[in-house]
Structures are given as structure tokens and as C-alpha cells.
């Protein structure tokens, strides 16, 4: 099939590369000329395992092309996917300006029937707005060209997006025209051939499914962190509690690991947007509000532990931080717990030596660029040299089995604040470490 994708960010680029891999002819279009030129040279704007060789292979084969020319992209499309950002507005709602701009561009340039598939995360009712904008542009041109709008939300995990797209748990499509639905089903057939995972529904339900899924996962994280905080106060071990409840098939082990809060580009934004959507429809989403409040306070748990151990005045103390990205296998640091932790520690006078396998350049250039008391180490052990303590924030694989003897030699004090409960408590105590976990009393 001939596919165009508006937006070459995380969703657009993964979608384009994976669609091209199955033999489709794909145009990825973006207004950012520098990004497009870099993509043509094989420079990928994000880190995602497996994505770079996939892009290179299909660009070389000619099945994946990059352009800033929206007219060229639309002219070579049977299906046009909107995969632009929907940043959070000041009131917490999703900002649809880029989605509606893309819809307008489609309406200005389409010359024949086309299916518009919205892959951006958007509030319920957005498909109607997209349809209205396209129709308005066609009316301005005084032409009548048929088109359909479908909702096709993505469910990609950062760090495993290519695998998720190639072997999806489910493909959700909301459509009100059987013709469009069958066309989208045909598009996804190579990805769902081994199992029937194509789920069709009405458009508004599809739009709601994406928000509901992310809100549910965020709620599981906040619930477990709430339990962890109670465990710590009553003398229970949350790691054992997690094993006990996770063995219940109705609950399972996914997303019930205690930690220092969720972050990223999806959960924070989508939970806020869903709460805002509820408010706009005269409903108070008390649980969604609690999920967010717990998460924000959870990002400070490690900071509170540090202050209890070292005092309010942290001047003269250097702390090593392992992990800046919001999760492993990505360089995405948007709303990462590390940012809150580092900012709060530096407010108390501390200096930070940070290390992350992938996210240091992004943090240095954008999110932490205004902080003077932060330096970046070349390796995880280099970050420890002379540090008063280690804060483990992101559970990268290379942090799972470190050389504790080397750590003891480099740290000023043998102290670890573990925000992801990675290590064996008894072993560390035997080695003379002070070891602080989430949800476990000292």
C-alpha cells in the first residue's frame, strides 16, 4: 500500500519504518527540514533499539522516503497517518494544534479518496474535529472528494517499540465506514497474521481506549508506590508484598514494581488530559487526580531519604546519580524522576555527578542545562568517585550487577539510595553498605 505519515517523531518514525519493512511504500513528512535531511543521512533523532538499522535498510531499498513536501506525500497516499505531537496545554488538556494543522494540510492537498488514520494520542471527539477541518478546506477549494477518518491509537513501549509494532498485543481501530475498516485491517494483516489481534470499534471508543490504557498502567504504578510507603511505615517489605499479590492471576506482576514515580511522554500527559476531559464533561475524576498526586510526591521519596541521612544543608556533598531517562532503553527524559530529584538536591546545596548510558546529551542540552552543580561522568563507576552516596534512579541493565567492591572503593561513604529496589539487601549489609530502598524500613 501507499502510506504517508505526517510527523517523524517517536510514533511516526517507528510506524513508517515498520510499515516499510512489510513492503509498503511509505512517505514520512515533517516540517523540520534539518530533521528530514538528517534522516536521509541515517541520523536518527531518538534512541530506540532496532530502529536505526530498520530505517537505513528501508531507506536504501526505496520503500521509506523522507520529505518536507506535504503535497508529494499526500499525492502518493492511500492512507495518511497523523502522528504529530499533542503536548499538554496550560490547563492540562491535549493541545490539538498540530493535529488540526495536519488535517488542514491534507484537505488542501488531497486529490482523491484517502483514509486519514489518527495515531496521535487525542481526546474523545478529535476525529470529528479532523473531519470538519478537512471538509472546510475542501469547501474552500470548491471540490467534493470523499475521505474517511479513523482512529488508530498506538500502544508502543519506549525501549521496545519496534518489537511492539511488529508483534502487537492488539491493533485498535475505530471507524464508522466498513470500507475504511477493511482497508486498515488489510494494512495490519502482516503484523497480526499469527493471531487475530485486530479489534474494531467505533471511533470514540478507540480514542478513549488509548487514554484508558495509559491511565490504568499509571494507576497500578501509583497504587504500588502507595503500598510501598505504607509498608515502610509499618515494618513490612514491599518486595515480598509485591511477590505475594503478583502471584494472583487477577493482578499479575506487570507495573507493580515500587519506585520513584513514572515519567515519560505518555503517562503524565495522558492522565492529566483524561482528568481534564472528565472535568469538561462535568465529572470529577477523583482516582485520576490521586494517581497524579501520589506520583508527584513519589518523585521526592529519595530526596527525603537523603535529607534524613545527611541533613537539610547538603552543601559540600556530592551525590552520584545512576540513570536520567524515565525508563531503561530510551533517551527520553521528559518528566523523568531524575529531573525532580536532581533539582531538589541542588536546591539544598548538593552537587551531582550523573551517568546514563543514553540520556546524558539530552539532559545536558535541554532539561538540566540551567543547573550549574551537575556534571556528567563517562562511566557508572566514574560517577561514584568521591561521592557521599549513590542514588539509583533508572534500572538500566548495566546497573543490575555492578562490582560492589569497586563501588566501595570509589564512594566516600558506602551508601546507596535505591529508587528501583534492584539489589540484595542482606548482601549489601554484609559488605558494610548502608542501603535504603523504596518501601522497606531500615
Helices 203-234 and 126-141, packing angle to 10 deg = 150
Answer whether 6's CB lies under 8 Å from 83's CB: yes
The Cα–Cα gap between 359 and 311 comes to 30
Catalytic residues: 266
**C-alpha closest to that of 17 among 43, 56, 46, 74:** 56
Distance, CA of 192 to chain centre = 24
Q: Reduced to 3 states, what is the DSSP secondary structure of residue 110?
A: coil
The Cα–Cα gap between 119 and 84 comes to 8
Enumerate residues 6+ apart whose C-beta is below 8 A from 368.
339, 342, 374
The Cα–Cα gap between 163 and 50 comes to 8
Burial of 117-140, coded b for 16+ CB within 10 Å and e otherwise, reads bbbbbbbbebbebbbebbeebbee
Query: What residue spans of 238-336 are helical by DSSP H?
Result: 238-246, 267-280, 286-298, 301-310
The Cα–Cα gap between 364 and 356 comes to 11
Longest Cα–Cα distance of the chain, Å, equals 79
Location of C-alpha cell 567492591: 405
Full DSSP string of 346-375: HHTT-EEEEE-SS-HHHIIIIITTT-TTEE
Q: For residue 152, what are the CA distances in angstroms to 61, 174, 195, 385, 428?
A: 27, 7, 19, 49, 48
Amino acid at each position: 500500500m501507499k502510506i504517508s505519515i505526517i510527523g517523524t517523531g517517536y510514533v511516526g518514525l517507528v510506524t513508517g519504518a515498520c510499515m516499510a519493512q512489510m513492503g509498503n511504500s511509505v512517505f514520512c513528512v515533517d516540517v523540520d527540514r534539518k530533521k528530514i535531511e538528517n534522516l536521509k543521512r541515517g541520523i536518527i533523532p531518538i534512541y530506540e533499539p532496532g530502529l536505526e538499522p530498520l530505517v537505513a535498510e528501508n531507506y536504501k531499498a526505496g520503500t521509506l522516503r523522507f520529505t518536507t513536501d506535504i503535497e508529494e506525500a499526500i499525492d502518493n497516499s492511500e492512507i495518511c497517518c497523523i502522528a504529530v505531537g499533542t503536548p499538554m496545554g496550560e490547563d492540562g488538556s491535549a493541545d490539538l494544534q498540530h493535529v488540526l494543522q495536519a488535517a488542514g494540510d491534507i484537505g488542501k492537498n488531497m486529490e482523491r479518496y484517502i483514509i486519514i488514520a489518527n495515531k496521535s494520542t487525542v481526546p474523545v471527539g478529535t476525529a470529528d474535529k479532523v473531519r470538519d477541518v478537512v471538509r472546510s478546506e475542501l469547501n474552500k477549494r470548491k471540490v467534493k472528494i470523499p475521505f474517511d477518518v479513523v482512529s488508530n491509537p498506538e500502544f508502543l513501549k519506549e525501549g521496545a517499540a519496534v518489537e511492539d509494532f511488529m508483534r502487537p498485543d492488539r491493533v485498535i481501530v475505530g471507524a464508522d465506514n466498513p470500507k475504511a475498516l477493511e482497508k486498515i485491517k488489510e494494512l495490519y494483516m502482516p503484523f497480526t497474521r499469527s493471531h487475530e489481534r485486530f479489534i474494531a470499534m467505533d471511533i470514540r471508543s478507540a480514542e478513549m481506549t488509548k487514554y484508558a490504557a495509559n491511565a490504568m498502567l499509571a494507576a497500578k504504578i501509583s497504587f504500588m508506590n502507595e503500598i510501598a510507603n505504607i509498608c515502610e511505615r509499618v515494618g513490612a517489605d514491599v518486595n515480598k508484598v509485591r511477590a505475594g499479590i503478583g502471584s494472583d492471576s487477577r493482578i499479575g506482576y506487570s507495573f507493580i514494581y515500587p519506585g520513584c514515580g513514572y515519567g515519560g511522554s505518555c503517562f503524565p500527559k495522558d492522565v492529566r488530559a483524561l482528568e481534564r476531559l472528565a472535568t469538561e464533561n462535568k465529572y470529577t475524576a477523583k482516582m485520576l487526580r490521586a494517581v497524579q498526586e501520589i506520583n508527584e510526591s513519589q518523585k521526592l521519596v529519595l530526596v527525603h531519604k537523603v535529607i534524613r541521612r545527611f541533613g537539610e544543608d547538603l552543601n559540600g556533598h556530592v551525590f552520584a546519580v545512576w540513570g536520567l531517562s524515565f525508563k531503561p532503553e530510551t533517551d527520553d527524559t521528559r518528566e523523568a524522576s531524575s529531573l525532580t530529584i536532581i533539582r531538589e538536591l541542588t536546591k539544598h546545596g548538593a552537587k551531582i555527578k550523573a551517568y546514563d548510558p543514553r540520556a546524558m546529551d539530552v539532559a545536558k542540552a535541554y532539561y538540566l542545562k540551567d543547573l550549574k552543580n551537575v556534571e556528567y561522568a563517562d562511566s557508572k563507576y566514574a560517577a561514584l568517585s568521591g561521592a557521599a552516596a549513590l542514588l539509583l534512579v533508572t534500572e538500566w541493565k548495566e546497573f543490575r550487577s555492578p562490582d560492589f567492591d569497586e563501588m566501595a572503593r570509589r564512594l566516600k561513604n558506602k551508601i546507596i539510595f535505591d529508587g528501583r529496589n534492584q539489589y540484595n539487601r542482606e548482601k549489601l549489609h554484609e559488605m558494610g553498605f548502608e542501603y535504603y530502598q523504596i518501601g522497606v524500613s531500615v
